[in-house]
């Protein structure tokens, strides 16, 4: 990314892609006999997109956001806590993906997978909403000050 001016637009687009991918994965589980290879392919795509998103957030966006907040003498405690929670969710999702990227395990534990997928999807959706309303809003406010 050449400039950070549109970073929140890119991050929001990535959010929509991640949500769409999880929705498609859920749809694949609705068949009487789900095609496990398609589910795994969808999970791999989600994982790849998530890694790119996490890199942009954790290595670029969050550090720059905190730097700008500190430069404006703003309290960063809640933002730092929020970032930590997001990183924890990233670890949780990574564990989930690692567990189910094997078709033998997926087949044996399909019911558990579907339940965990629902929980992961709900958790991510809530966090995405919080992120877009919270830290992305901070970013935009700091952009207008510059």
pLDDT tens track for 55-104: 999 999 999 999 999 999 999 999 999 999 999 998 999 999 999 998 89
Q: How high is the pLDDT of residue 20?
A: 97
- The H-assigned helical ranges of the chain are 7-28, 36-55, 62-71, 77-100, 103-108, 110-133, 135-145
Tell me the C-alpha distance between 119 and 123, whole Å: 6
Task: For 7-36, write each residue's pLDDT tens digit.
Answer: 999 999 999 999 999 999 999 999 888 999
pTM, 2 dp: 0.91
Task: Supply 79's token pair.
Answer: 């933002």
Q: How high is the pLDDT of residue 146?
A: 59
N-term to C-term CA, the chain: 20
Neighbours of 56 (CB within 10 A): 16
Contacts of 128 (CB under 8 A, 6+ apart): 15, 18, 19
Classify residue 100 by its DSSP letter: H
CA proximity to 64, closest of 121, 119, 16, 135:
135
Residue 122 or 138, more confident: 122
Q: How high is the pLDDT of residue 1?
A: 46
């Amino acid at each position: 990314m050449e400039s950070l001016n549109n970073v929140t637009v890119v991050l929001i687009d990535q959010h929509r892609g991640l949500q769409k991918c999880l929705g498609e994965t859920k749809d694949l589980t609705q068949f009487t006999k789900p095609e496990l290879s398609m589910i795994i392919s969808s999970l791999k795509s989600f994982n790849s997109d998530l890694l790119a998103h996490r890199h942009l957030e954790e290595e670029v966006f969050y550090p720059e956001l905190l730097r700008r907040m500190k430069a404006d003498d703003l309290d960063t405690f809640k933002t730092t806590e929020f970032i930590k929670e997001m990183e924890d969710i990233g670890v949780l999702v990574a564990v989930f993906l690692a567990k189910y990227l094997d078709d033998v395990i997926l087949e044996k534990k399909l019911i558990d997978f579907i339940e965990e997928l629902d929980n992961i999807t709900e958790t991510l959706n809530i966090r995405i909403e919080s992120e877009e309303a919270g830290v992305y809003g901070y970013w935009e406010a700091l952009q207008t000050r510059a």
